[in-house]
Structures are given as C-alpha cells and as structure tokens.
Amino acid sequence: MTYTASSNVDGQSVLVLDDDSAVAEIITAMAISLGAQARFVCCADDFFRELDQATADVVIIDLQMPGRDGLEVMRELGTRGPVQVILTSGCDSRVLETARHSARINGLDVVSVLPKPVRRTALLAALKAVQVQNDSPKTAPIDFGSLAITAEMIKEALTNGQIRAHFQPKLRLRDHEPCGFEALARWEHPEMGMISPGVFVPLASMAELDRELCEVMLDQSLSFLAELGDTDLCMAVNVPMRVCAEPAFPALLDGYLQRFDLTPARLILEITEAGPVEMAQGEIDALTRLRMRGYSLSIDDFGTGVSSLERLVRIPFNELKIDRYFARDISTSPGAAKLVRNLVRIAKSMDMSVTIEGVEDAAMMQLSRELGCDIGQGFHIARPMPAEMARTWLIEQAGRLPV
C-alpha cells in the first residue's frame, strides 16, 4: 500500500515492515504526517519485493515477527548494500542493543531504535537523523552495478589530479587545540561530480591501485603540512595493510618526508583493513618496522568488527581510532558508552592514545572527553575540506600559524 505526503516537508521515502498491519499502518500514517513518503508491508517477502521495485531512504523494521524475524531480514538486507534502518521492538534495551550491533556487522546503518508503541516525537527525531545524513556532502549515490568505472579511469584520475586530498581537523579534547588532520580522498569527476572514497577506494583496491592512491595522498597531504610551516600538527593518511607490507614501502615514505623536510613523527598511518581478520606474520613485522623508523600507527575503524583485539595486541599501534558508526551511540546507549570507556582503558594500558570519530555535536564532544578519549574528529569540529579552506580554518583557530 502506498501513501503520498500531502505537505512535502522533506519527501523522505520510508518503507515500514511490521507483521501487525494495524501497527504498520499507524507508523506509516505518522511518518506521512511528518512529511515523509511512506508505505508499509507486513512480511519479509513483500518487503524485499517492494525494495526491488523502489529503494527507500530508510526502512523501519520490527524485530519480532513470525517467520523471518527482524534479524534475518537485516542479514539479507546487508547483502544488498548499505541501507539506513530504524528498528522497532517491544524488547528490553539489551536486546535492542544486540540487534543494533548485529545490524552493523551486516553493514547496515542503524539510525535509531524505537521502543514500541512508537511515539510521534521519537519517530520525528529518528527521521531527522536520517535527514542529517542525507545532508552530508553529496557523495555519489552510485549503484556499483550500473556505473562503469574502469581501472583505466581510476588510473587516469590518479595522474591527472582529479583525485584530491581533503583534510578533516582533529582536535585535542583536553584543551580544544587542533592537533592535526586526516587526509580523505575525493574524486572530482568532470561529469559524475564528486565521487566518494566509499565508492572508488574499493574499486581502486580491486584494480591493485592502492599504492598509487597512497602516493597521491602522501604527496598532497605532506605538501599541505609542509606549507603550514613550523607547527607540531600531524597528518593522518589512510593506508591499507597490504601497502604497508610491501618491502619498498618504508623507503617510499622516507623519500616523501625528505622531500618535504618533515620528521616521521608528523605522519600517522591509519591502517585500514577490509579483508578477513587473519594476520600474516609478515604484515606484523612490516608494521613493527615502520614503528621502529618513528612513524605512528593508528588502528582504524575500531569497533566495526573488522579490527580485532588480536590485531590490537600483536601490533605496536600508537593510536586507537573508534569508528563513527560505533561512536555515534555513546550519547544514547549506556552499553556503547561503557564499552568506549573500557576500550579507552585497554588503549591507555598499552600506551595508546584514543581518537573518536564522528563527533557530531557539543554533547558528544563533552561525553567523549569524559569517557577518556584524547582526540575528537567529526562534523561538529569541521567537515573534511580542501587544502585552502583547511588552512583558513586553522588560522581562525586562534592564529596558531606564524603569520
């Protein structure tokens, strides 16, 4: 059944799945009254059939259903690519948190969890959270299957300057002083517009162009850092494990630092790993060797289920980075906050500093500090921005640069 919003407030498309048609209808009507375009279905088969016909900005899923329950639906949904989800349930908060975690492992983005009966104000807040994410810089709503990005195109973009480093500030939570930036890749395509790294980095990786991407990012980000002059700011660059393990990588890094006259302590290598968690001794040795040369190592995306505790223990990381999907819940979920506090404790016992990603408001920044995190990064502080804007931002932060 489909309704259309009469007052087009935001036109968000919402698909509700609840086995109780009366409940489904109420939630749908509420969403419509809030300005969304909502429709509902009452079983998993209809749900996937609906999604095959038209995508939704967000799906609202009931956890408890006869037949395929919410957990099973989320597992299947996860195989279709990233989707934003609102969960509803009459279960207690522990069950909801576990379900939220399971959704995340399936690659889903759980925007909110609503206890039943669903209240209008709670639904409004949840739908607004979806809106916030849609507001983030448009980064190519691209369907992998239909988009013809070839390895050749990426190779060319890496050499013709279309792939640019943007810089997102990192702030010391103790005194709110900037302490560095993370370099994030953007592909400024003349016809397709800005293409997100979430789209092209995995493709570059499949085309075995990780090292080339890494070189472009090192070149642009270290040149930016050098131009800032005499500061103690650090630059964090994302590097897949596989690139770090290349025998020639340490010499390559040394070359870049010499060229820009920077010390290794100014560079943080954020080790990303998308593959299985299996670790080869060769990789551990390669990372240890980089540490011995004075480079800082950060374990990226901690909390997403990819970066394992084993990795944390066996590799001499300097920094633990708590992923934004995980960090986001600390204000609303006592379990998430408790876990962050414990992670901080583990990190501190291993002499590591903790950076928390996805700091989206002042309350979260304050809480991150209270939980013991050292450094914050997120839209509340600043979005990733091109070099010139990042430089201006820095100057505005109390004139840290020599004029």
Residue ranges that bind Ca ion, judged by CB under 5 A = 238, 270, 300-301, 323, 357
Between CA 110 and CA 112, with CA 111 as vertex, the angle to 5 degrees is 95
User: Which CB sits closer to ligand C2E, 106 or 168?
Assistant: 168
Contact 76, 52 (CB under 8 A): no
Three-state SS for 184? strand
Under the criterion CB under 6 A, does residue 169 sit at the interface with ligand C2E?
Answer: no
Distance from C-alpha of 94 to C-alpha of 71, rounded to nearest angstrom: 15
Contact 162, 216 (CB under 8 A): no
- 296 makes contact, choosing from Ca ion, ligand C2E, none, with CB < 5 to 8 Å by partner type, with none
Angstrom distances, CA of residue 345 to CA of 341, 371, 374? 6, 9, 12
Under the criterion CB under 6 A, does residue 301 sit at the interface with ligand C2E?
Answer: yes
Distance from C-alpha of 72 to C-alpha of 387, rounded to nearest angstrom: 45
Under the criterion CB under 6 A, does residue 198 sit at the interface with ligand C2E?
Answer: yes
Contact 335, 357 (CB under 8 A): no
- 217 makes contact, choosing from Ca ion, ligand C2E, none, with CB < 5 to 8 Å by partner type, with ligand C2E
Minimum distance from residue 377 beta carbon to Ca ion (Å): 9
User: Which CB sits closer to ligand C2E, 47 or 317?
Assistant: 317
User: Which CB sits closer to ligand C2E, 89 or 377?
Assistant: 377
User: Which CB sits closer to ligand C2E, 40 or 326?
Assistant: 326
| Residues 307-326 within binding reach of ligand C2E (CB under 6 A) | 324
- 382 makes contact, choosing from Ca ion, ligand C2E, none, with CB < 5 to 8 Å by partner type, with none
User: Which CB sits closer to ligand C2E, 103 or 217?
Assistant: 217
Total residues binding ligand C2E (CB under 6 A): 25
Minimum distance from residue 151 beta carbon to ligand C2E (Å): 16
Angstrom distances, CA of residue 327 to CA of 172, 297, 303, 304? 17, 20, 8, 10
Only segment of 15-23, 51-59, 192-200, 388-396 that touches ligand C2E (CB under 6 A): 192-200
Under the criterion CB under 6 A, does residue 114 sit at the interface with ligand C2E?
Answer: no
Query: 177: which strand partners?
Result: 172
- 70 makes contact, choosing from Ca ion, ligand C2E, none, with CB < 5 to 8 Å by partner type, with none
Minimum distance from residue 352 beta carbon to Ca ion (Å): 16
- 364 makes contact, choosing from Ca ion, ligand C2E, none, with CB < 5 to 8 Å by partner type, with none
Under the criterion CB under 6 A, does residue 355 sit at the interface with ligand C2E?
Answer: no
Please report how many Cα atoms fall inside a 13 Å half-sphere around the Cα of residue 110, on the Cβ side: 30
Contact 17, 51 (CB under 8 A): no
User: Which CB sits closer to ligand C2E, 118 or 217?
Assistant: 217
Distance from C-alpha of 57 to C-alpha of 70, rounded to nearest angstrom: 18
User: Which CB sits closer to ligand C2E, 266 or 324?
Assistant: 324
- 319 makes contact, choosing from Ca ion, ligand C2E, none, with CB < 5 to 8 Å by partner type, with none
Under the criterion CB under 6 A, does residue 62 sit at the interface with ligand C2E?
Answer: no
Angstrom distances, CA of residue 111 to CA of 67, 129, 161, 383? 25, 6, 36, 20
Only segment of 145-153, 245-253, 378-386, 389-397 that touches ligand C2E (CB under 6 A): 378-386
Minimum distance from residue 92 beta carbon to Ca ion (Å): 30
User: Which CB sits closer to Ca ion, 57 or 323?
Assistant: 323
Contact 359, 376 (CB under 8 A): yes
Contact 178, 377 (CB under 8 A): no
126, 186, 201, 352 alpha-carbon torsion, rounded to 10°: -70
User: Which CB sits closer to ligand C2E, 97 or 360?
Assistant: 360
In DSSP notation, 85-152 reads EEEEESS-HHHHHHHHHHHHHTT-EEEEEEESSPPHHHHHHHHHHHHHHHHS-------TTT----HH
Q: Which residues bind ligand C2E (CB under 6 A)?
A: 136, 139, 168, 184-185, 196-198, 201, 213, 217, 238, 240, 272, 300-301, 324, 357-360, 377-379, 384
